[in-house]
Structure 1
Amino acid sequence: MADAIQDDTPPIDPENVPNRPIIMACLMLATIMQVLDTTIANVALPDMRADLGASLDTINWVLTSYIVAAAIVTPMSGWLSNRFGRREVFMVSVIGFVLFSMLCGIAWSLDTMVLFRLLQGVFGAAIVPLAQNFMLDINPRERHGQAMAVFAAGIMLGPIIGPTLGGYLTESFNWRWVFYINVPLGIIALAGCMTFLPKTPKSKVNFDFIGFAALAIGIGALQLMLDRGSDLDWFSATEIWIELALAISGFWVFLVWIMGVEKPFIDPKMFLDRNLSMGLLFIFVIGIVLLASLALLPPMLSSIFSYPTVTTGLMMSPRGVGAMIMAILIGRLVKFIDLRLLVMLGLGMTAYSLYIMSTFSPLMGPRLLIVSGVIQGFGLGAVFVPISTLAFATLDPKYRGDGTALFSLVRNIGSSIGISIVTALLTHNMAVNHSEIVSSINPQNLQSLLGSGSGMSSEQSSYVLNNLATQQASMIAYLDDFKFMMWITLASIPLVWFLRKPDYQSQGSGKEAEEGPILE
């Protein structure tokens, strides 16, 4: 949009940004703080339910309110930063997020908790896209790959360590500390940003209320449908049909509106940039694989392998270690290797890790869990960094605010859709597998299955075998889910070649290639 500049603030000069390492550290601290909250509260729900007097159904609104609010507000971050200044919006977002995190910690009822979580999601929605926007703005284009390596490490680390940290805080202190932990992190991030974060120009941007309202209805209804579908048995419930109709209607009105209005809420011309469009597709796949696998593993390790909460967290940590190592390594390689090859490598490693996971057995030790976790971390790190770089490599900087907002939104929607799909498949396959296994058991082979010397009555034998059948049916269903995600990952590999190689990779000078790590 061609808008008049409101002030004389010059654009950020990426070649002349003082205290760049400190700025990046503060941005990443705020990012990790926000991303942690997508998973850290999950493990504390049982304790919350007891303290707040909630039922099994209503306690889920603690998660739903945050997810829906964040999803609706995220697309606004581009408009808000243009209208009021990116620095100002970022700091207000951090202040609001920290304030409502503290209020969540002192919530005295379910109603107040849901309200505070909703407002926490409203203020936290802009943190990640604005942090990514700043990371791109304060670094020269040829160093965007290194900047995105730092950004990717934080984005992937948060959801992975969230359940572990949440479980530790809940067991060692109480559930309120999963929210209090945000306070010191936010204060440090805020102090650094207030001191060092550069200002950006403000523009007179008209707010397209109809476009935003249509998109908000579509996103909100979709997120509600995905979040509540498994609890309501999906399309057997009237609520899900209503939410589906609202989602389709909202997105349809939004698309028709932005194609015809002069200054739409999101300019459709930005999607003509092939790298942005393909980058959104790939980050959607990453969202499915990353959080869907994270949603499946803890209940599998708990119910089938009988791991306690702390051990389950430790078994998840290799993904975070692998992702961080690969992100740092990729940050050093982006100047020398075609980013598209790195994406293919990452997708291949991710698919291979899912193949390993599809061979899990209830009798195995922790070795395969660790190996598959490290490989998956390597793979996701090798995909996220190049995709985060390629998506904005050819995009006009005037679209960067909306682009980073959509990048964050699509990743979160991919996560929600992925979790909903694998959960629905898991439930369906468990029922089918259990029925098939039990159907092969009859009075004639009942004692032979348990051994003739078991000394159990027919009722006891049936109970034991039913438990074993349930465990086996669950394990097979988990393996089918991992295989399903493997095929999704493999199917996305040919699309890599629709991405365009950044010009600086072929034109960058030797000096640029030798500049070294971004934080050094």
Structure 2
Amino acid sequence: MTTSLPAPAPAYPVGIRRWIIVLTAVTAAIMELIDTSIVNVGLTDIAGSLGATIEDAAWVVTSYGIANVIVIPMTGFLQRYFGRKNYYIASIILFTLASYGCGVAPDLWTLVFFRFLQGVGGGALLSTSQGLMFDAFPPKQRAVASALFGLGIVLGPTFGPTLGGYIIDNFHWSWMFYINIPVGIAATFLSLSFIDKKADEYDIDRKAISIDWTGILLLAVSVGSLQYVLERGESDDWFDDEVIRYLTGAVILALPLFIWWQLRGTKSPVLDLRVLKNRNLAIGSVLMFIVGYGLFTSVLLYPLMVQRVAGFTATKTGQLLIPGGAIAAICFPLVGRILSKGVSPRYVVMAGYVFFAAFCFLMSTYTADTTDGYYIQALLIRGVGLAFVNVPLINSSVSGLKPQELPAGISFTNMMRQLGGAFGVAITNTYVAQRVAYHRVGLVSNITPDNPLATDRINGMTQTLTAKGMNALDAVGGAYRTLELAVQKQSLLLAYLDTFRLAGLFFVVSFPLLFLLRSVKMDAATAKAAADAAH
């Protein structure tokens, strides 16, 4: 009679080796996320340098987002097929080479092409980094690993505009891409030297892995088209644009087919949607969509508000983000320790929701004369909120899944966060445009000869211009032009305040869903499998 020996305990890296892996994984994730927002502040410079319009230059942002949202849900399959280490290193190399291509691009559409390739590589960096982090820690310490990785999720989009603004104010826009090259080279060598292959990566039988080509095609068409419609809808007048109409039709056709195919049409789906039968994952995905909406909306709205209304420079706009990023850095390890002590992630997420809603409503009370300190105060609240939301929500969403279900579950939550961000950008652009028009009508209606305040304002500005040597007729025209600029500025401010208020309402309305999350503790097998899953 023979007895089977227990499987040897996995050997976890220790000391400097562990922290090199942590640094490599977090840096790669931050680098990818920075590139989702770093170019936003440089579109004007890019358009001017390459002889393009702002509308065409927006493709530099759109192409990256489309590539990201297509690749992220596919990473579980791609890791199984190529091996996680090989796929990770190849993605770093692709991201680095594409960054160089972006920097030297001679025209806009070459830049857009390399940005798409950058997004393909970047989606993999974000999606594999947490698996590497989990492999570096034993199960009892994986809450700390999640916290460290969650720090990267927040710091990337937060510091993207900061870094982009500094580069635009002091260097050529191409350095927004060149800065990735030394980081990418270092990450490649560190990954080759310190990241080990998993046991099942040494002898991958690719012939035994079925490739769901139909699913991949339907996923690319449905999700890519949806991302395009959300990002370009407002600038292209939504359904007045022929391309938007065609791509909306593609989403309507391809998305149901993709869902049917993944549930019924294939035994090896590229994204196993059957995991959504798990209540925590289904609810958590909706909540992750809201978090993505809040994160990307705040990243978009804050710079626009302080630069266009308060008149801050791009560099100052970024500097005000630093305290909020610092408090997030402090809070993430704290959240990890709270979770490791057995506190239910649901209660931590609730606290994060309260903080983030407070940030939105506080920002909705500011004026054009609000000082730096008040913005820092609001951004500190935002940093705490994001730290308390991201990691616990990911853990709570996947904690009830079986080990083999984790790759699909985690990929789905990532996709929902990215789509939430795209939805946030789309609804923000549309809502701001509508509210600007609404408030302008209300403000202009008060500028009448019967309104003594408006008359006094115009007379005062006319006298000031006349005193500076302008003739009476030109002075009156100048006064009205100055008043028009003031109306535009006030309309923008009121529209931004309305949009922050709307973002806060999204968190308030979705808050009851948190009570539906079950408090499920991740067992040892599932925790181990999380190391094998894409983030």
Shared topology, TM-score over 0.5?
yes
Check 1:454–1:95 CA distance in 2 against 1; reply closer, same or farther (3 A cut).
Answer: same
2:74–2:271 contact (8 Å) kept in structure 1: no
Q: 2:30 aligns with which of 5, 8, 32?
A: 32
Separation in structure 2 between the aligned mates of residue 278 and residue 453 of structure 1, nearest angstrom:
57
1:132–1:404 contact (8 Å) kept in structure 2: no
The answer to whether structure 1 residue 16 and structure 2 residue 12 are counterparts is yes
1:114 shift after superposition: 1.5
2:273–2:408 contact (8 Å) kept in structure 1: no
Give the aligned partner of residue 431 of structure 2.
425
Give the aligned partner of residue 392 of structure 1.
398
Q: Deviations over 1:144-181 (max 9, x none)?
A: 32111000111110111111111212332211111111
Separation in structure 1 between the aligned mates of residue 427 and residue 281 of structure 2, nearest angstrom:
25
Separation in structure 1 between the aligned mates of residue 9 and residue 153 of structure 2, nearest angstrom:
26
The answer to whether structure 1 residue 501 and structure 2 residue 506 are counterparts is no
Separation in structure 2 between the aligned mates of residue 420 and residue 391 of structure 1, nearest angstrom:
26
Separation in structure 2 between the aligned mates of residue 15 and residue 283 of structure 1, nearest angstrom:
33
Separation in structure 2 between the aligned mates of residue 51 and residue 13 of structure 1, nearest angstrom:
57
Separation in structure 2 between the aligned mates of residue 14 and residue 130 of structure 1, nearest angstrom:
19
1:86 shift after superposition: 0.8
Q: 2:456 aligns with which of 422, 430, 448?
A: 448
Check 1:37–1:416 CA distance in 2 against 1; reply closer, same or farther (3 A cut).
Answer: same
1:236 shift after superposition: 2.5
Separation in structure 1 between the aligned mates of residue 362 and residue 71 of structure 2, nearest angstrom:
38
Q: Deviations over 1:247-270 (max 9, x none)?
A: 121111111112212322222332
Superposed, which structure 2 residues align to 1:358-507 within 5 Å?
A: 358-445=364-451, 446-450=454-458, 454-455=462-463, 457-503=475-521
1:323–1:380 contact (8 Å) kept in structure 2: yes
Q: 2:241 aligns with which of 232, 237, 240?
A: 237
Give the aligned partner of residue 314 of structure 2.
309
Separation in structure 2 between the aligned mates of residue 141 and residue 503 of structure 1, nearest angstrom:
12
1:450 shift after superposition: 4.3
1:404 shift after superposition: 2.9
1:185 shift after superposition: 1.1
Give the aligned partner of residue 330 of structure 1.
335
1:430 shift after superposition: 0.4
Separation in structure 1 between the aligned mates of residue 307 and residue 154 of structure 2, nearest angstrom:
23
Q: Deviations over 1:186-226 (max 9, x none)?
A: 12222221112121324632111111211111111111111
2:461–2:479 contact (8 Å) kept in structure 1: no
Instruction: Compare 398-407 and 308-317 and name the one that shifted more.
Output: 398-407
Superposed, which structure 2 residues align to 1:43-58 within 5 Å?
A: 43-58=41-56
TM-score, normalising length: structure 2: 0.88
Give the aligned partner of residue 195 of structure 2.
197
- What is the percentage of aligned positions where both structures have the same residue? 33
Separation in structure 1 between the aligned mates of residue 357 and residue 10 of structure 2, nearest angstrom:
37
The answer to whether structure 1 residue 279 and structure 2 residue 284 are counterparts is yes
Separation in structure 2 between the aligned mates of residue 13 and residue 379 of structure 1, nearest angstrom:
37
Give the aligned partner of residue 226 of structure 1.
230
Check 1:362–1:99 CA distance in 2 against 1; reply closer, same or farther (3 A cut).
Answer: same
2:399–2:522 contact (8 Å) kept in structure 1: no
Instruction: Compare 110-119 and 198-207 and name the one that shifted more.
Output: 198-207
1:128–1:408 contact (8 Å) kept in structure 2: no
The answer to whether structure 1 residue 146 and structure 2 residue 144 are counterparts is yes
SS at match of 2:236: coil
Aligned amino acid, residue 339 of structure 2: V
Give the aligned partner of residue 112 of structure 2.
114
Superposed, which structure 2 residues align to 1:58-137 within 5 Å?
A: 58-137=56-135
SS at match of 2:400: coil
Separation in structure 2 between the aligned mates of residue 499 and residue 472 of structure 1, nearest angstrom:
42
Tell me how large the CA RMSD over aligned residues is. Answer: 2.2
Aligned amino acid, residue 499 of structure 1: L
SS at match of 2:38: coil
1:333 shift after superposition: 1.3
2:458–2:480 contact (8 Å) kept in structure 1: no
Q: 2:360 aligns with which of 354, 378, 398?
A: 354
Separation in structure 2 between the aligned mates of residue 235 and residue 181 of structure 1, nearest angstrom:
39
Q: 2:215 aligns with which of 198, 211, 214?
A: 211
Separation in structure 2 between the aligned mates of residue 348 and residue 238 of structure 1, nearest angstrom:
42
TM-score, normalising length: structure 1: 0.91
The answer to whether structure 1 residue 267 and structure 2 residue 267 are counterparts is no
Moved over 6 A (4+): none
SS at match of 1:391: helix
Separation in structure 1 between the aligned mates of residue 95 and residue 415 of structure 2, nearest angstrom:
18
Check 1:339–1:295 CA distance in 2 against 1; reply closer, same or farther (3 A cut).
Answer: same
Q: Deviations over 1:63-109 (max 9, x none)?
A: 22221122222222111101111111011001111111112111122
State the number of aligned residues.
497
Separation in structure 2 between the aligned mates of residue 299 and residue 501 of structure 1, nearest angstrom:
39
Aligned amino acid, residue 299 of structure 1: L
